[in-house]
Amino acid sequence: MGPSRIQASETRPLVDGYRPAAGQFDEMRTSDGGLRPHWQYLIDALRALGADGIDGRWQEARRLVRDNGVTYNVHGDPQGMSRPWELDPLPLLIRGDEWASLERGLIQRAELLNAVLCDLYGARSLIKKGVLPPELVDGFPGYLLPCYGAPMTDDRPLVLYGADLTRDATGAWRVIGDRTQSPSGSGYALENRIVLSRVMPSVFRDSHVHRLAGFYRSVRRAMGRIAPGQDDHARIAVLTPGPRNEAYFEHAYLANYLGFSLVQGSDLSVRDGALWLRTLGRLERIDALLRRVDDGRCDPLELNEDSLLGVPGMLQAVRTGNLAVANALGSGVLEHPGLTAFLPALCEHLLGESLLLPNLQTWWCGRREARDFVIANLDSLVIKPADGPVGQRCLFGAKLDRAQRAELVAAIRREPHRYVAQEQVQPSTAPAYIDGALAPRPFVLRSFLVSEQEGYAVMPGGLSRIALDPETPMISSQLGGLGKDTWVLASEPERQETLIVAPDANAPTSFPAVVQESEVSSRVADNLFWIGRYAERAEGLVRLLRILIIQLTERPIVADEGDASSCLRLLLAALTHQSQTYPGFIGEGAEALLQQPVPEVLSLISDQRRAGALPQTLQALGQAAWSVRERLSNDTWRVTNDIERRQRLLTQVPPRGLGRALDLLDPLITSLVAFAALTQENMTHNEGWHFLETGRRLERASHTASLLRATLVSVTPEPGESILIESVLGVTDSLITYRRRYQAGTRVGAMLDLVLQDEANPRSVAYQVARLATLVDEMPRDSLSGRRTPAQRTLLRLLTELRLAELDHLARPSEGSTLRDALDGLLANVGSSISALSNAITAQYFRHEEQPHHLIGQRPEACAAAAHGCRADEAGGG
């Protein structure tokens, strides 16, 4: 597990026990055990901190990673979409002069691969002249024939490039992998830097570390440069596979940091040979895409017809010159592991110089002499399927038994072009903080480059990854391990940089800034709408549960069914209606549950498998928020993470008693209120916020009407009715106002005045309906039509009915009855109107490709008493 086992140790020296493995280059110590000079300052600082101080820094780093919502989602991991990014508190240090030499090799390699890419999809002279065998390229799934002849952007279709590096036993840097489709990890490198510079600010400052902001400025310039004819006003988007991708955090993080829109394939459409973003009621042109989708999956029309991640016609938009894609579609051919065997010759042929940065010695089995060598030396080689996914597990010849070896040899002889062999190199090691001391662990450094006007710019450092197992032959984030910040040390202090664009000295000071608002797609609006609904639903459910627990503790239900017991029965029935967990306290078996209500109440608090229970509502809120991660501020995201942690507390160790349940619900309501306040105060009140606020107001109106209908339609004799009304006022957070305003005691009419009809009370039904009317009026609509929309007409009718309602008439029971039929009819109409409003908004603004959000478990008569959504997230939020 690594850092989670860190323990401060007084008996084990921090550094003195550090022993590099034999035959491996170590970044911190020389082969004779001496400390490399550029590590001296950091080690002295760590010694001054001691194990306790370092452990404190590590705990702070973990907190920052958690609060910032930094995740890397490994398929099959029990933590699912919330697996936190693991960060080692020690940086990897590289001398500035050594980095300058490495930089030259990386730039040459990027130029070489870019030239190869241009040739393979253009003149194909490398194949015609025999420098590359045609079966190496044409037989590789990564070579996309439909992309042949497509225009190459800015002479550098390889806009972004990543190289995985390690050192051999002599300390020489070697390239062990090229990432050319959509090199990932630069966002994690930036987050590593932000966290480490926060927890060790003085060490970072005094080490004179090269800054990263300049690299990201180059990325932004590169994307603007490749956009067809748009320059500084280009609309650029990051194309992500979606929130279930393991690196979705990075996609959202980079989109925010660079100021680009984050889009999915379902948000986009190709029309008239251009790419468009579907926003609310209109289309917005997209000029350039920074893609995080594999190129074969970007266009189901011409590439992979089974893909649900891309956009039909994207390749045609590229052909017509209306869209630039980074990296160019088809650049995955450069990730062919067999191409590495030809790079030295390609460098001489294309650039007229030797390859500065060597890669692992490689043999492509498609050539007879290479195939014979591989079969004869299988025990010392690593075998890779040439057409397998990048980063997949390799076969180590020395670890194969006789049958496996024979099977592999037969496969190589049968289809030699599908296999590549490489020399086996033990990765170099770097210090990691394990169990209170520094220990050597294998690492790989991924460096990143971006195309500039005259060449390539290299990120000073990159993403280092540490393997926790010192004997591992593979280092991969999917296999676990730690991220590590990489510090390239300058000889003097670095100037602090920022991505904020400097003002133009020639521009007049009175000239307004150019505003380019990030447009809201229907998918984003849909998720924001349901964030509002789920957050309000969770808050309302927690408030009702808290009041119920207090009532159950003070006034348990007794067999003779006194007034207090009658009050509790109505509140428990309201709980079933609110959570939609039928039959619950109102259907078959309700009487037995009413006599022993505690297990059912605790189940609704902690059972994550139960649709409609509090954990599923909180989970649905988290997943909807994760789907629009780039729309939420850091503070809002910290509160979202806190809500998720409190959900885990409810489910992992379920409370066995009401007292413990109340202890867990109290801080949860604080987090939910904080979430509501931050979305109100920290979000720009643009189109996206309008849908979030609409979802919240719609849900509050529905829940309040449902609560009033479940508790007040039946007449309860005093003093039970006073207890009941006080409880309802507590759930709606209106008790203090009631006590201040109404001095004549607790009465139904006064409560209806405050909670049903008072448009100044932000918890009343009328307030929600009036607020919804304003929000709906401000939603995008056809400006040519002067007619009211169905949503506007629904709200106008409902608001008029609420304003004209006579409270005395509503508070009186019907003649000869114990029911308030007039109140029941009005609240039923509120429920059905809110449901119709939800359906109207969904039909007008939201797309329906994804699974719908919905409220489940509804009884037939509840349709008129609660708002029912039309879409549910994939986790089934009820």
Q: What is Dmax (Cα atoms) for the chain? A: 102
Rounded-to-integer distance, Cα 324 and Cα 236, Å: 9
What is residue 1's predicted lDDT score, i.e. its pLDDT?
39
For 110-162, the pLDDT digits (tens) are 999 999 999 999 999 999 999 999 999 998 999 999 999 888 777 889 999 99
For 798-847, the pLDDT digits (tens) are 999 999 999 999 999 998 889 999 999 999 999 999 999 999 999 888 86
What is residue 234's predicted lDDT score, i.e. its pLDDT?
87
For 604-656, the pLDDT digits (tens) are 999 999 999 999 999 999 999 999 988 888 889 999 999 999 999 999 999 99
Question: 784: which residues sit within 8 A by CB, 6+ positions away?
Answer: none
For 165-177, the pLDDT digits (tens) are 999 989 999 999 9
Rounded-to-integer distance, Cα 671 and Cα 677, Å: 10
User: Could you tell me if 127 and 415 are in contact, meaning their C-beta atoms sit under 8 angstroms apart?
Assistant: no
Rounded-to-integer distance, Cα 361 and Cα 340, Å: 8
Task: Write down the residue that tokens 């084990």 correspond to.
Answer: 12
For 534-577, the pLDDT digits (tens) are 999 999 999 999 999 998 887 665 445 555 578 889 999 999 99
What is residue 9's predicted lDDT score, i.e. its pLDDT?
38
What is residue 152's predicted lDDT score, i.e. its pLDDT?
78
Helix (H), strand (E) at residue 59: helix 40-67
User: How many helices (DSSP H) and strands (DSSP E) are in the chain?
Assistant: 27, 19
What is residue 7's predicted lDDT score, i.e. its pLDDT?
40
The token duo for 651 is: 């489910």
Is residue 857 pLDDT above 50, yes or no? no
Is residue 849 pLDDT above 80, yes or no? no
Is residue 437 pLDDT above 90, yes or no? no
What is residue 494's predicted lDDT score, i.e. its pLDDT?
64
Rounded-to-integer distance, Cα 112 and Cα 343, Å: 8
CB neighbourhood size of 834 (10 A): 31
Rounded-to-integer distance, Cα 615 and Cα 648, Å: 8
Q: Which residue intervals of 68-200 are DSSP H helices?
A: 96-120, 125-128, 134-138, 186-199
Mean predicted confidence (pLDDT) in 49-77: 79
DSSP string, 254-285: HHHHHTPEEE-GGGEEEETTEEEEEETTEEEE
| pLDDT-based confidence at residue 856 (cuts at 50, 70, 90) | very low
For 671-715, the pLDDT digits (tens) are 999 999 999 988 889 889 999 999 999 999 999 999 999 999 999
Rounded-to-integer distance, Cα 740 and Cα 783, Å: 46
Rounded-to-integer distance, Cα 287 and Cα 277, Å: 10
pTM score of the predicted model = 0.85
395-396 vs 282-286, strand pairing mode: unpaired
Mean pLDDT of the chain: 86
What is residue 492's predicted lDDT score, i.e. its pLDDT?
72
Rounded-to-integer distance, Cα 381 and Cα 864, Å: 70
As to burial, measured by CB atoms within 10 angstroms (0-12 exposed, 13-18 middle, 19+ buried), residue 40 is exposed
Tell me the domains of the chain and their CATH numbers.
361-423 (3.30.1490.270), 522-864 (no CATH)
| pLDDT-based confidence at residue 782 (cuts at 50, 70, 90) | low
